[in-house]
Structure 1
Amino acid sequence: MSLLGSMTTAISGLAAQARALGHVSDNVANSQTVGFKRTDTNFTNWLTRSNLRVNLPGSVEARPDYTNTVQGTIEQVENPLAMAIAGQGFFSVAQSRGGSGADVIFDDRQMFTRAGDFAMDRDGYMVNGSGYYLEGWTMLATGQPDRTTLAPIRISELVYNPVPTSSIDLAANLPSNVDAVAAIPAAAPWAPTEDPVSSVIQIYDALGNQQQVTLDWWRLDTDTWRLRITPENDTTNPADGRFVDVRFGGQIAAGPPVVTAAPGTISSITMRANTTGTTPAPTETGDNAFLGFTVDYGYGNQEVQINLGGFGVPTGLTMYAGTEYSVRDLSQDGVPLGAYNGVTVRENGDVAVNYDNGQTRIVARVPVVAFNDPDKLQKLDGQAYLRTVESGEARVTDASTNGVGKLVTNSVERSNVDIAAEFSKLILAQRAYTSNTRIVTASDEMLQDTINMKR
């Protein structure tokens, strides 16, 4: 019994070491595979009989010991869509079952991977080197991600439609050390004869064409300036022009209580011709100071609002010391037609499509998925995994929150295989295998001697 048991135990040792050698072979072969997690070997002893008087030889079993939680080296690459997870967590991915474009059919199973070498395929999907499609949250109209549903991310917004200008922001200082005009026109066209101080801004119409608007200023008296707004190519072209008077310092609201603007800050806006003003009237400092006008470039009325800052506060338009009209900011919210210019992934997981008109559109957000025991996930081809009962439920969350790692963009996670360690395991497996063969040989010779006893 002992001799046969010794031989059986040695044979189980051969099988266990052969399996350990297979783990080493798999690790070495995938030492350069993106997102690969090595498999170590856990040897388990199985007893036949063991007590204080006797211990019979049992057997050994080699079980895989997965290292899904062990971080691989993060390496920067040139691919703008490549991502790595620094810390715990996985990407959620899907597998295609056929079709193309918007009609791609995906496997119902949710899969996970650490292989973040994603690139855009011909249909606009983000696919990694193993053919798995990256899943994410789509963006709602509010600009927030829809965290209730995961779906494969597809880039289909290749054009950024033009946006007509609706708002102009003006921050400037009208000089207080210049002379007022000699005569103030009391009726249309309201423009004094003296040369104004001017600024020009380009706005956009409904088709994305660039149009020019000129803002001319005249000082009427100590505290009041007159503004003329002249949009070029405007089909309405009112005969009286577009005029408004802006007063600095003094009473904002009659109250009670009476509200007064500090010197050099806006206290009132008076519409003269073809302009609209602050509604309702200001009642306290800080209320929005704005005026508006209507233009028509041949595509219907276009309402434009000029924001001058706030009443009684030194933001936006002011009148302080100086002899030159200084513009600090003159910007507008219109956008010309834009064409697709590339896509990038931000550190918070936002997938941003860039256009050649300088605009960016967020189309999705990449979440990170965590498990209570990631080492119990079921391995699939291509460095992918499936959830199991032992791994626990998948927790889908934003990067860098709830214990998951952060996203490292323009990078990939390399295999966590250490070649030196694997060759050390190889030597040990080889020596252990050889030693077990010696046990089999010795047991065989001893059994042969037992058989020869009757001769």
Structure 2
Amino acid sequence: MGIYGAINSAVSGLTAQAQALENISGNVSNSQTTGYKRLDTSFSDLVAGGGTRQADQVSGTTYATSRATNTVQGDISASDVDTYMAISGDGYFVVTSAADVVDGQTTFQDASYYTRAGDFELDDSNYMVNASGYYLKGFKLDPTTGNAVGDAPSVIQISDQPLAASATTLIDYQANLPRVPDTTDYDDSDEDTALLGAALAGANISSANESTFLDQSITGGSTTVYNQNGTAMNVEVRWAKTLNADAGVPQDDTWALYVSSGGNDPAWLEVGTVNFTSSGVMQTLTAGANGTVNTGGNGFDIATLTVGDVTASNIEFSLAGGSLTQFSDPTGVATSVAVDQDGYAAGELEGISIDESGRINASYSNNQTRSLYRIPLATFDAEQNLKRVDGAAFAATPDSGEADLTGGGTISAKSLELSNADIASEFSKLIVTQQAYSANSRVVTSAQGMLDDALNMIR
């Protein structure tokens, strides 16, 4: 090849180093780009002809190729934005781009792209969009089962519709009732004065007898329940230990359960009675004027309950799991009281958050939370062969394979993955590239001088 071969090799070196410089320049400029994956440069040689043995060959030219660093994790930085996300481990967020706006509604491209840039925020249409304009895709979740609806992810749009009210169907009750209740009219001398009089026992309590009833019963807590349209009702509970109306003697282990009617007449509604063993364990239940024993024998069913001017239907008052006991207690009041119910009023959307499993959870003003979407992570058999597109994103290619949405790493909420391009490292590569470029240019200069000498020989 001689001098001309040397010039050719040096020029290829200049071209290769120029490409390396371009990669370095791009990496430096994107050192603060969220989710950016730097491009390194690999050099390969092209062997020149000249013989079948290395001894007969000479060094050939070189060429540069870009080397992807998609598998190199960037640092994860905490953020105070609820919708920001970072991926720890493998995978990409599945995104797409807007196509057009039709009748005020955004339409989207059919193609999917993949990115590690998780700086998503809600736009004015409640789509989750990152700083590069990509719209996040996910699996919509069934509100009842929590399972994904369909096999293909769709563009995520958070509904701002109110969460519908849910009527109370179950009241879970827990308490320990004392053996001797400390009622208002109890004087510590005669236990009979702590019991509900025979004239009041076994029925609803009228407004005329309410004062006497309150003096002969103890409070059992209260809770707010909701009817079918979400209207709140304050349900107060009282317990009264009853007299045996036939024998005229106390029923030491029997309590009557009452709930308030909220100022109506009758003032207190009898739900039923509960009988305990001598060891304080709930034994048998008996239906009252406003309740029937449920099928499990561990609570009461209330078909209709009116408190004030609000009516609810079909409420179970559950005493399951040994939650109601009668153990001796010197205080004479109900202890360990806990009243929980399963209904709630309608609620307005207050915000969203993302958990480690990639579920988008909506929080409502009624203290309810609902999982709306699951964010999948796309993995590829050969992710180094993904095609780079604008906005720190990638497109699948035949060489990368199709996206697999069943695996991937974990999602860190309120975090961002930073660029994996380190300025210090890039500057080190810049020095080496600059020196190599200068050396190749020196070879061209030297070869030119040698050609000049050869031409001068014949002058």
> Shorter-chain TM-score: which interval?
0.7 to 0.9
Give the partner amino acid of 2:5.
G
Give the counterpart of 1:226 among 250, 256, 259.
Answer: 256
Q: Is the 8 A contact 2:299 2:316 kept in 1?
A: no
Q: Is the 8 A contact 1:125 1:154 kept in 2?
A: yes
Q: Is the 8 A contact 1:72 1:416 kept in 2?
A: yes
Match of 2:187 in 1: none
In structure 1, runs of 5+ residues without a counterpart are 251-262, 283-287
Give the partner amino acid of 2:335.
S
Match of 2:293 in 1: 277
1:413-452 mapped onto 2 (5 Å cutoff):
413-452=417-456
Match of 2:239 in 1: 217
1:309 alignment partner, SS class = coil
How far residue 330 of structure 1 moved from its aligned partner, in angstroms, is: 0.8
Match of 2:216 in 1: 195
Match of 1:308 in 2: 319
What CA distance in whole angstroms lies between the structure 1 residues aligned with 2:92 and 2:387? 13
2:405 alignment partner, SS class = strand
2:436 alignment partner, SS class = helix
How far residue 233 of structure 1 moved from its aligned partner, in angstroms, is: 6.7
**Structure 1 343/182 Cα, relative in aligned 2: closer, same or farther at 3 Å?**
closer
**Structure 1 240/70 Cα, relative in aligned 2: closer, same or farther at 3 Å?**
closer
Q: Is the 8 A contact 1:206 1:299 kept in 2?
A: no
Give the partner amino acid of 1:76.
A
What CA distance in whole angstroms lies between the structure 1 residues aligned with 2:103 and 2:225? 37
Q: CA RMSD in A?
A: 2.3
2:87 alignment partner, SS class = strand
Number of corresponding residues? 426
Deviates more, 1:66-75 or 1:163-172: 163-172
2:397 alignment partner, SS class = coil
Match of 2:274 in 1: 246
How far residue 363 of structure 1 moved from its aligned partner, in angstroms, is: 0.7
Match of 2:245 in 1: none
Match of 2:339 in 1: 330
Give the partner amino acid of 2:442.
R
1:229-378 mapped onto 2 (5 Å cutoff):
229-232=259-262, 241-249=269-277, 263-279=279-295, 282=297, 288-296=298-306, 302-310=313-321, 315-322=322-329, 323-378=332-387
Q: Is the 8 A contact 1:211 1:233 kept in 2?
A: no
How far residue 148 of structure 1 moved from its aligned partner, in angstroms, is: 1.2
Q: Is the 8 A contact 1:216 1:227 kept in 2?
A: yes
In structure 2, runs of 5+ residues without a counterpart are 182-190, 243-250
Q: Is the 8 A contact 2:166 2:228 kept in 1?
A: yes
Match of 2:168 in 1: 165
Q: Is the 8 A contact 2:260 2:268 kept in 1?
A: no
- The alignment's TM-score, normalised by the length of structure 1, stands at 0.88
**Structure 1 415/16 Cα, relative in aligned 2: closer, same or farther at 3 Å?**
same
Identity of aligned residues (%): 35
Match of 1:255 in 2: none
Give the partner amino acid of 2:316.
Q
Cα-to-partner distance string for 1:399-424 (whole Å, 9 max, x where unaligned): xxx4x221111000000011111111
What CA distance in whole angstroms lies between the structure 2 residues aligned with 1:182 and 1:67? 80
How far residue 158 of structure 1 moved from its aligned partner, in angstroms, is: 3.5
Give the counterpart of 1:204 among 226, 238, 241.
Answer: 226
How far residue 100 of structure 1 moved from its aligned partner, in angstroms, is: 6.7
Match of 1:254 in 2: none
Cα-to-partner distance string for 1:151-192 (whole Å, 9 max, x where unaligned): 111111341222222221111111113345264346544788
How far residue 19 of structure 1 moved from its aligned partner, in angstroms, is: 0.4
Q: Is the 8 A contact 1:230 1:242 kept in 2?
A: no
What CA distance in whole angstroms lies between the structure 1 residues aligned with 2:25 and 2:41? 12
What CA distance in whole angstroms lies between the structure 1 residues aligned with 2:39 and 2:175? 66
Q: Is the 8 A contact 1:238 1:274 kept in 2?
A: no
Match of 2:247 in 1: none
Match of 2:145 in 1: 142
How far residue 104 of structure 1 moved from its aligned partner, in angstroms, is: 2.1
1:396 alignment partner, SS class = coil
Match of 2:16 in 1: 16
What CA distance in whole angstroms lies between the structure 1 residues aligned with 2:76 and 2:354? 17
What CA distance in whole angstroms lies between the structure 1 residues aligned with 2:435 and 2:162? 64
Give the partner amino acid of 1:203.
V
What CA distance in whole angstroms lies between the structure 2 residues aligned with 1:100 and 1:228? 60
Match of 1:62 in 2: 64
How far residue 145 of structure 1 moved from its aligned partner, in angstroms, is: 2.3
1:39-58 mapped onto 2 (5 Å cutoff):
39-49=39-49, 51-52=52-53, 53-58=55-60
How far residue 240 of structure 1 moved from its aligned partner, in angstroms, is: 9.3
Q: Is the 8 A contact 2:301 2:317 kept in 1?
A: yes
What CA distance in whole angstroms lies between the structure 2 residues aligned with 1:405 and 1:301? 48
**Structure 1 100/419 Cα, relative in aligned 2: closer, same or farther at 3 Å?**
farther
How far residue 389 of structure 1 moved from its aligned partner, in angstroms, is: 2.1
Q: Is the 8 A contact 1:101 1:123 kept in 2?
A: no
Match of 2:74 in 1: 72
What CA distance in whole angstroms lies between the structure 2 residues aligned with 1:305 and 1:46? 83
Q: Is the 8 A contact 2:256 2:270 kept in 1?
A: no
What CA distance in whole angstroms lies between the structure 2 residues aligned with 1:124 and 1:37? 29
1:98 alignment partner, SS class = strand
How far residue 239 of structure 1 moved from its aligned partner, in angstroms, is: 9.3
Deviates more, 1:145-154 or 1:64-73: 145-154
Q: Is the 8 A contact 2:47 2:58 kept in 1?
A: yes
Match of 2:388 in 1: 379
